[in-house]
Homo-oligomer: A and B are copies of this chain.
Amino acid sequence: MRPLSRQLVAVLGRGVVPAAEPIATADDLGLVRGDGCFDAMRLLGGGTQAVAEHLDEHLERFAHSAATLELPFDEPGWRALIAEAANAWAPAPEAVLKLVLTRGTEAAPHRPSGFLTVTELNLAAMRRARAGIRVRLLARGYASDAFADAPWLLGGVKLLSYAVNSAAKRAAEASGDDDALFVSSDGYALEGPTSAVIVLRDGRLTTTPTGDTGILDSVTTRQVFARAAGVGVPTEHALIAATDLFSADGVWLASSIRGVCPVLTLDGRTLRRDPGWNAKLAGWGGF
């Protein structure tokens, strides 16, 4: 759990509000059922110079999450709220801009409620993670095709129902590691609780496919793969056997906030790594 520093809160339809002011009632379906979605990106700088990184891609994914949940999505409203919040944010090197949409209240379930937070990042912790992380493989319980033909399982949605992700992170930390990597019941690496996996083997980058696996479409991985392809590095989306990670030429966990973090150890075993590739992937990801 990162130590909290400065935070700004803004509510859709209202604008910036005091950060300590409660904003959700006891019958908000986001609060009592985790029924809603979110998205998160870095906010660099602040005021009129603030940059919400890959804003279009994150808004597109956020809208897709909302559509899967059958929630209306007010894109102009979100863009205006983000602009207002960014403008009100006193510059910080890096912050997280998190957008949250819930189904609304039990009393009015067809009026979703939206809000955002901007929270200053702990740069020291980010730099440590970007230098390398220790990762624990944890069973996710699902087969790699569990989400095929089962839209009610909400695959690919960045859900507010995130308790298992949080518990997996706690379990990894309890074993002395920094993060977890989920493995399907048929033995494939899926994703981390808040990140995607990228593997290097024989000069080729691979990540897990979205769709039947239920994993989230990673904005950072898309960015890394597009730039890698641009300089002739082959990339692919394919299932990755978890046991193959131990013999890979490099493994990274990629997220929009923490960056493209090389995996130093997996289940306590040291992985191969290459500072040159680390720098390339970080750069392609914008870190």
Contacts and interface: CB of A to CB of B under 8 A. Distances in A.
Interface stretch (A27-35, A123-131, A235-243, A264-272): A27-35
Contacts of A27: 4, 7, 19, 117, 119
B1 A109 contact: yes
16 contacts: A1-B106, A7-B27, A7-B107, A20-B25, A23-B25, A24-B24, A24-B26, A26-B115, A28-B31, A32-B160, A33-B34, A33-B162, A69-B167, A139-B149, A139-B150, A142-B142
Contacts of A100: 26, 31-32
Nearest to A149: B139
Interface of A: 1-2, 4, 7, 9, 19-36, 38, 69-70, 98, 100, 102-103, 105-107, 109, 115, 117, 119, 138-143, 146-147, 149-154, 159-168, 170-171, 180, 185, 214
Looking at A24, A69, A170, A214, which has the most chain B CB atoms within 10 Å of its CB? Answer: A24
A141 B151 contact: no
A5 to B, nearest CB: 9
Nearest to A20: B25
Contact of A161 (B115, B161, B170): B161
- 7 shortest interchain CB distances as A-B pairs: A34-B34, A161-B161, A141-B146, A161-B163, A22-B22, A33-B162, A4-B107
A154 B164 contact: yes
Contacts of A32: 38, 98, 100, 117, 160, 162
A70 B162 CA distance: 16
B154 A163 contact: yes
Contacts of A36: 163
Contacts of A109: 1
A163 B34 contact: yes
Nearest to A30: B31
Contact of A25 (B21, B69, B106, B143): B21
A100 B25 CA distance: 12
Most buried by B among A34, A103, A185: A34
A20 to B, nearest CB: 7
Nearest to A10: B26
A147 B185 CA distance: 11
A251 B29 CA distance: 30
B170 A163 contact: no
A89 B154 CA distance: 37
A113 to B, nearest CB: 10
A270 B147 CA distance: 28
A122 to B, nearest CB: 12
